Structure 1
Amino acid sequence: MLRSTVVFSAMTFLSRIAGYARDALQAHLFGTSAAVSAFVVAYRIPNYLRRIFAEGSFSSAFVPVLSELKQKGDEQAMRDVLDHVAGALLAAVIVVTALGMLGAPWIARVFLLFADPGAGGLVELAADMLRITFPYLVFISMTALAGGVLNTFRHFGVPALTPVLHNLAIIGAMLVLPRFLAIPEQALAWGVLAAGVLQMAVLWPTLGRLGIRPRFRFDLQHEGVRRVRKLMLPTIFSSSVAQVNLLVGTMFASMLVVEAQAWLYYSDRLTELPLGLFGVAVGTVILPQLSRQFAGKDEAGYARSLDWGLRVVVLVGMPAALGLALLAVPLTAALFGRGEFTDDDTRMVGYALTAMSLGIPTFMLSKVLLPAFYARQDTKTPMRAALATVVTNVVLTIAFVTPLDYLGVRWAHVGIAAATALAGVVNAALLWRYLRRDGIFKPQPGWTPWLARIGVGLAVMAATVILLERWVTARYGMWTAQPDALRWMWLLATIATGGGAYGATLLALGLRPRHLRQ
């Protein structure tokens, strides 16, 4: 499991490097214009549906069923289920895509409910971009189907690498298409569509080389299709609660200044780095493992695997959150602070990132806690937690944003980020409570010294980062005013020093690499 997680994380790291290049180019070329805000809406809606029909709800229901059949050695039944599920999925996403393209103006109006009707034709522009981005759902769903099959057969590398192609396609579109478009930012939407096509074109042939490429059979009443559908429906909220909360934030951000959508987008992209590198990696690797152990009635192995996943994300998630919070403005300045991206944009993204960072450990914990239910083919319990989480997010967003907006505070979008983070805490706490209540999770010995070491390491890391960051500011001025090369040099030095202090403290307190093995 550790080896598979490292492989997945390494491939994801390449994707995040390409993702940074994409975001940096986007910030340089387009800044936080109204057209970028329109793209954020047009991207988040099909991206949320991707969580349902691709690697979110669908994979959470499909992988345990396929893993169970593989564990039983019934290859004919496994292939039959794969063929029929592939056909049903393709039919569903084609219908949803067609409806989305037809209803784009109304969808854009809903998610820009509070926007100023005269704000640069924001609704119309978002609708135009939605018609371009919606077909992405078809291609990415087929890509996710292939990835789920490969993960079941313990092939994690290629599925984890394909998001690199997503970012490269958007980069290529930004470099080539703006000169041919009346609205240059529409290149982003065309890049998303090209990314879906490219990922499917690369990943689908991999199934053929392994001899497991599905044949599309359309029978919605097939036993395997009904079983996946039954498991999938309750997960629509539970496996994509973070995306639902982002959509809620998107709606409320439309009542604020037009740049708020873009500020929240960039802060979200930065929080995605630790989530993708570690949270998603552990969750992806642990789901087929837990599914096999549950199908094989290996309760002791199931408990050890889940315990291992939780310890790893605590070990990594806590310093990741602390580091992002302490270095939010320096990070934003170094990563995006050039071209059309102003100093004011840097500060506003940094404020939102600080608030969002509070939820990173619990976002990562949820990525491990959810597979504990899905592996047992229990999708209803996480749905209850998800519904409570979304309600909490809406209530907190109203409570935080309404007074700030009434007072005319420019950084009112920080209230949306804080509400999203706190809702993530609620989600993880409820999942933990349900696991403990039902006796599913039995903590292994050693949690107290594990948490004590991490706590001391975090204290040393925080002191190191704060002192070095303040010294750099006192010596060279505000991060937004420093030359680009100097900002990068001191940012990397601060991250390396803080991370080194954290690791050295853990080693001094007795933590060893062997403790990371399951």
Structure 2
Amino acid sequence: MNLLRAAGLVSALTLLSRVTGLVREQVVTALFGATALTDAFQVAFRIPNMFRRLFAEGAFSQAFVPTLAAQRSTEGDEATRSLVDATATVLLLSLMLVCLLGIAGAPVLVWLMGGGLNPQAHSAAVDMTRWMFPYIACMSLVALSAGVLNTWRHFAVAAATPVLLNLSVIAAAWGLSTPMAQWGWPPIYSLAAGVMLGGVVQLAVQVPALRRIGMLPRVSLSLSGGLNAWRHPGVKRILALMAPALLGVGVAQVSLMINTHIATTVAEGAATWVSLADRLMEFPIALAGVALGVVLTPLLAAAKTDERGNEFSSLLDWGLRLVWLLGVPCAVALLVFALPLVSVLYQYGKFTPTDALQTAHAVQGYGVGLIGLLAIKILAPGYFARHDTRTPVKVAVVVLVFTQVMNLIWVPVFGAAGLALSIGLGALLNAGWLAWGLRRSGVYQPGAGWLGFAVKSLLAAALMGMFLWGLASELNWLTLHKGWRVALMGASMVGAMLIYFGSLWGLRIPLRQLVRRA
């Protein structure tokens, strides 16, 4: 199995999801702008997303995937099928309860997340939160399906499903916003309807893929079935691993909640500016961090289970080298070329030049910590594969405190951009600490040639950055005709890629060795 090919497939599909996500944000900003009501949607959507990260990509996946990979490696497919059935039963029963509590407690959740919203926006956020809360159940079951498919090394379906959410929201925004107004609902509610439609569609497409590998879960909602599922040894292992992981992910979500609350108090539209910057920052994370993390997690777990220590360390080293190779130029581009990127991507319709400028400042804040955000996606699986969920939790708690201290310093100075800067600095601390822990424990030994590789990559990125900085300084991107902006952006990206990879070739970076890593 060629790891780069597998990562490339996940990366391409994840890129497609990010592109459609970007189109989704473009549609939202063009139709609704950056206003109190768009802030209300951002707050409402972040609430189910927060719980989704607790029950789906976060604590659950961190505990489920390594346990599933170890079970299949040691006991075979039949025992693994029993674990999948039991886990799906417990997960669904738990989510039904969470959804009911979330719908009832929506006003409190909105106040915690968006206390700075005006009364109209607060009421809209409560309504949309209630509409979207069942999305958590859909996405948590999608995460279970993705864990199974990735363990069987079927990466495509799980990586492609986020595209369906974006397409559903786009379709609902265009098709339902006018009818919503005619029915007496704020048009922004069309976005909440699109989110729920997307969740259902994403779950539906998992069924054929799971059936093909014989792993479609058999869920029991009876009392006896639920009790038997709770008693399953594999479920108990997952729950034991989830407990500290849940705390770790919960710490991250508390930080998100605080930051969103602060954003709603900075200015109307500030939550939207930060969210749009986050969307742009997700592109490099999707291309490098997420794709590599998805591929590496089950392989690291299998290497650890089979006690192949050298392979474990080699996999981590390969992932970190690719993160550095791809992340450094992306970070430079976000720092020096933020305004052109934002103006080309978002400055349409009701999205004003002032909104573009504020969003660009937030993008630069994220750019400071991009390498950290990427590296965490590689380093954290190194702990989870060893069933160590406690260390990342301890790190996350310290980083939460550090981030909020940074908010006290930077938000009064930079406003919404200060929130992004604090997150970026916190990510650097998080990644550095995780790397130091793996190195100290002896499970990760950096390969030869790291210093020369890092310096040469930085030099190539600096040359590329000088080119982009010149283009950003010489042209007034905010006032250019949108057709010229798009054409110049395309030319700029091609030029930047040629300069960076041409410089790598000239500096004799061994790209072929990375490509052929198997």
TM over 0.5: yes
1:440 maps to 443
Cα deviation for residue 378 of structure 1 reads 0.8
1:197 maps to 200
Matched residue of 2:478: which SS?
helix
Cα deviation for residue 213 of structure 1 reads 0.8
2:94 maps to 92
2:223 maps to none
Task: Work out whether residues 242 and 424 of structure 1, in 8 Å CA contact, stay in contact via their aligned partners in 2.
Answer: no
1:262 corresponds to 2:264: no
1:185 corresponds to 2:188: yes
Task: Work out whether residues 246 and 420 of structure 1, in 8 Å CA contact, stay in contact via their aligned partners in 2.
Answer: no
Task: Work out whether residues 290 and 302 of structure 1, in 8 Å CA contact, stay in contact via their aligned partners in 2.
Answer: yes
1:383 maps to 393
Cα deviation for residue 400 of structure 1 reads 2.1
Cα pair distance change 1:240/1:430, threshold 3 Å = farther
Report Cα offsets for 1:321-364 as digits up to 9, x if no partner. Answer: 11112111111111111110001101010111111111111000
Aligned pairs for 1:22-421 (under 5 A) are 22-113=24-115, 115=116, 119-181=118-180, 182-217=185-220, 218=226, 219-239=229-249, 243-401=253-411, 403-404=412-413, 412-421=415-424
Please give the alpha-carbon distance, in whole angstroms, between the structure 1 residues aligned to 2:60 and 2:210: 18
Instruction: Give the TM-score of the pair, scaled to structure 1.
Output: 0.95
Cα deviation for residue 453 of structure 1 reads 1.4
- CA-based RMSD of the aligned residues comes to 1.4
- Number of aligned residues: 503
Please give the alpha-carbon distance, in whole angstroms, between the structure 2 residues aligned to 1:267 and 1:482: 21
2:15 maps to 13
Letter aligned with residue 433 of structure 1: W
Task: Work out whether residues 27 and 341 of structure 1, in 8 Å CA contact, stay in contact via their aligned partners in 2.
Answer: yes
Please give the alpha-carbon distance, in whole angstroms, between the structure 2 residues aligned to 1:245 and 1:350: 22
Please give the alpha-carbon distance, in whole angstroms, between the structure 1 residues aligned to 2:230 and 2:48: 24
Letter aligned with residue 381 of structure 1: T
Matched residue of 1:481: which SS?
coil
Cα pair distance change 1:107/1:80, threshold 3 Å = same
Cα deviation for residue 34 of structure 1 reads 1.0
Letter aligned with residue 130 of structure 1: T
Cα deviation for residue 243 of structure 1 reads 4.8
2:5 maps to 3
Matched residue of 1:371: which SS?
helix
Instruction: Give the TM-score of the pair, scaled to structure 2.
Output: 0.95
Please give the alpha-carbon distance, in whole angstroms, between the structure 1 residues aligned to 2:103 and 2:469: 49
Identity of aligned residues (%): 36
Matched residue of 1:177: which SS?
helix
2:490 maps to 492
Matched residue of 1:220: which SS?
helix
Please give the alpha-carbon distance, in whole angstroms, between the structure 1 residues aligned to 2:253 and 2:371: 17
Letter aligned with residue 21 of structure 1: V
Letter aligned with residue 158 of structure 1: V
- Structure 1 counterpart of 2:426, from 416, 423, 426: 423
Cα deviation for residue 190 of structure 1 reads 1.1
Please give the alpha-carbon distance, in whole angstroms, between the structure 2 residues aligned to 1:330 and 1:242: 30
Please give the alpha-carbon distance, in whole angstroms, between the structure 1 residues aligned to 2:21 and 2:76: 40
Please give the alpha-carbon distance, in whole angstroms, between the structure 1 residues aligned to 2:254 and 2:453: 33
Cα deviation for residue 244 of structure 1 reads 4.4
Say which is worse superposed, 212-221 or 145-154, in terms of deviation: 212-221
Task: Work out whether residues 55 and 148 of structure 1, in 8 Å CA contact, stay in contact via their aligned partners in 2.
Answer: no
Task: Work out whether residues 464 and 496 of structure 2, in 8 Å CA contact, stay in contact via their aligned partners in 1.
Answer: yes
2:477 maps to 479
Task: Work out whether residues 8 and 160 of structure 1, in 8 Å CA contact, stay in contact via their aligned partners in 2.
Answer: yes
Cα deviation for residue 165 of structure 1 reads 0.4
Report Cα offsets for 1:193-239 as digits up to 9, x if no partner. Answer: 11100100111221012211111242323211111011112112545
Letter aligned with residue 337 of structure 1: Q
Please give the alpha-carbon distance, in whole angstroms, between the structure 2 residues aligned to 1:77 and 1:177: 46
2:503 maps to 505
Cα pair distance change 1:110/1:296, threshold 3 Å = same
Matched residue of 2:499: which SS?
helix
Say which is worse superposed, 61-70 or 232-241, in terms of deviation: 232-241
Letter aligned with residue 163 of structure 2: V
Please give the alpha-carbon distance, in whole angstroms, between the structure 2 residues aligned to 1:165 and 1:334: 24
Please give the alpha-carbon distance, in whole angstroms, between the structure 2 residues aligned to 1:241 and 1:504: 42
Please give the alpha-carbon distance, in whole angstroms, between the structure 2 residues aligned to 1:74 and 1:291: 15
Please give the alpha-carbon distance, in whole angstroms, between the structure 1 residues aligned to 2:374 and 2:250: 13
Please give the alpha-carbon distance, in whole angstroms, between the structure 2 residues aligned to 1:241 and 1:360: 20
Task: Work out whether residues 102 and 130 of structure 2, in 8 Å CA contact, stay in contact via their aligned partners in 1.
Answer: yes
Cα pair distance change 1:203/1:336, threshold 3 Å = same
Please give the alpha-carbon distance, in whole angstroms, between the structure 2 residues aligned to 1:512 and 1:431: 27
Report Cα offsets for 1:482-502 as digits up to 9, x if no partner. Answer: 000100111111121112101
Please give the alpha-carbon distance, in whole angstroms, between the structure 2 residues aligned to 1:450 and 1:98: 52
Please give the alpha-carbon distance, in whole angstroms, between the structure 2 residues aligned to 1:491 and 1:59: 37
* Structure 2 unmatched runs, 5+: 221-225
Letter aligned with residue 202 of structure 2: Q
Matched residue of 2:349: which SS?
coil
Please give the alpha-carbon distance, in whole angstroms, between the structure 1 residues aligned to 2:373 and 2:248: 12
Please give the alpha-carbon distance, in whole angstroms, between the structure 2 residues aligned to 1:21 and 1:197: 21
2:470 maps to 467
Please give the alpha-carbon distance, in whole angstroms, between the structure 2 residues aligned to 1:243 and 1:9: 25
Report Cα offsets for 1:1-26 as digits up to 9, x if no partner. Answer: 11110000011111122112111111
Report Cα offsets for 1:350-388 as digits up to 9, x if no partner. Answer: 111111111111000000000000011111111101111
Cα deviation for residue 112 of structure 1 reads 2.1
Task: Work out whether residues 241 and 389 of structure 1, in 8 Å CA contact, stay in contact via their aligned partners in 2.
Answer: no
Report Cα offsets for 1:106-165 as digits up to 9, x if no partner. Answer: 11111223x16xx25222111111001111001111111111100000011111011110
Report Cα offsets for 1:151-181 as digits up to 9, x if no partner. Answer: 0000111110111101000001101111222
Report Cα offsets for 1:92-114 as digits up to 9, x if no partner. Answer: 1111111110000111111223x
